[in-house]
Amino acid sequence: MGSDPSSQIPVINFSLVSPELDRGTKEWHLLCEKVREACESYGYFETKKKNVNPNPFYAYAGQYATASLYESLGIEDASDPDSVRRFEELMWPQGNDFFSKTISSITQQMDELNRTTRTLILDAYGLGETLNSIMPCTTLLRLTKYKASPNGEYMEGITAHTDKLLSALLCANQVFGLEVEAKDGQWIKLFPSPNSFIYMVGDPLMAWSNGRMHAANHRVMMEGYEDRYSLGAFPAPMEGTTIKPIKELVDEEHPQILEEFDYMEFIRFSLSKESLTMDSAGQAFAFAGNY
Ligand SMILES: O=C(O)CCC(=O)C(=O)O
Ligand SMILES: [Fe+2]
């Protein structure tokens, strides 16, 4: 690890593997180790894959007093083309075929990368034989715009948080701004290459792994005169999902850190007044940490 903070971002090349073809090979196992090491040590990593051009636009959330640059739209269950079409009809009653096709195409590719990563994680912990998924999820696609800050000053775009969805797969236009907090408290600016995605571990994945995986605190800081657009594919646990640590990852050396909890109740808690004053990473522990 060099002294340049950006050298602390693990970069993992996914372009040579597919779970269908390579599961069980030496290359696959090496990749498993890299993904596990990155998720445990850092909570995020950058994966290289062919870049596609997302088309993020309108906003459904934003104009917050504390985050005036931020606006965001969400498409629930974006893996289903009908769901994307419904969103299209909402935004463009006259239709926007290009938008829906683009969104469905990138969602499909991001879903594939998310699935590959989840399979790598299962295999990295030796769970691939017994489990065929971490937990049932649908994909929430989020399209976010950050306006350039007034006078280009260094200003918060989205406040520091850990993700409440299983994980996040993020890409943005070439306006940087995403920063992650390293375990030593140092904030690291990310400068991902155009053909890569950032994979971020969320609180449910941290809880599932009994704290082995690190949900990194992250934020967006805007600087300069260009707006920033980002696209995130967030595997969202299905309503009714109970988040619990996988028993194989609980032992004497790794005692259980959280009680099992209902995913939607946790989401509601994370949006409650009580948690507003809390450090985002502490919310899961405040909610389910009786150990
Ligand atoms: O825009 C980004 O790069 C990050 C967005 C983010 O952290 C989020 O939506 O949770
Ligand atoms: Fe986030």
Q: Which residues form the pocket of ligand 1, taking CB atoms under 6 Å from any ligand atom? A: 142, 144, 158, 163, 168, 170, 172, 178, 218, 220, 230, 232
Ligand 1 atom closest to residue 170's alpha carbon, by position in its atom list: 3
Pick the residue whose CA is nearest to atom 10 on ligand 1: 163
Ligand 1 atom closest to the Cα of residue 146 is 1
Give the pair of three-digit tokens for residue 208: 């599932």
Q: Which atom of ligand 1 is nearest to the CA of 144?
A: 1
In this structure, the number of other CB atoms found within 10 A of the CB of residue 122 comes to: 19
Nearest-angstrom CA–CA distance, 152 and 265 = 39
pLDDT in tens, the chain (291 residues): 445 555 667 888 887 677 766 888 888 888 899 999 988 887 766 643 322 222 222 236 777 778 899 988 888 899 999 999 988 888 888 888 999 999 999 999 999 999 999 999 999 999 999 998 999 999 999 989 999 999 999 999 999 999 999 999 999 998 999 999 999 999 999 999 988 999 999 999 999 999 999 999 999 999 999 999 999 999 999 989 999 999 999 999 999 999 999 999 999 899 889 998 899 999 999 999 976
**How close is the Cα of 218 to the center of ligand 2, in Å?**
6
Environment class of residue 151 by beta-carbon count within 10 Å: exposed (0-12), middle (13-18) or buried (19+)? exposed
Which residues partner with 138 through β-bridges?
236
Tell me what pLDDT residue 113 has.
95
Predicted confidence at residue 266, as pLDDT, reads: 94
Ligand 1 centroid from CA 231, angstroms: 8
The per-residue pLDDT for range 85-140, each reduced to its tens digit, is 988 888 888 888 999 999 999 999 999 999 999 999 999 999 999 998 999 999 99
pLDDT at position 6, please? 58
Report pLDDT for 291: 62
- Please state whether the predicted TM-score (pTM) of the whole model is above 0.90: no
- H or E element in which residue 26 lies: helix 26-41
Cα of 189 from ligand 2 centre, angstroms? 14
Closest atom of ligand 1 to 198 CA is 3
Whether ipTM > 0.90 holds is yes
Residues, CB within 5 angstroms of ligand 2 (ion) = 163
Confidence (pLDDT) at 57: 29
Q: Which numbered atom of ligand 1 lies nearest the CA of 172?
A: 3
- Residue 268's CB: how many other CB atoms inside 10 A? 12
Please tell me the predicted confidence (pLDDT) of residue 2: 44
Spatial distance between the Cα atoms of 222 and 206, rounded to a whole number of angstroms: 28
Ligand 1 centre distance from Cα of residue 232 (Å): 7
Cα distance between residue 114 and residue 238, in whole Å = 16
- How far apart are the CA of 219 and the centre of ligand 1, in A? 7
In this structure, which residue's CA is closest to atom 1 in ligand 1? 230
Pairing of β 44-48 and β 196-201? antiparallel
Partners of 261 in the β-ladder: 243
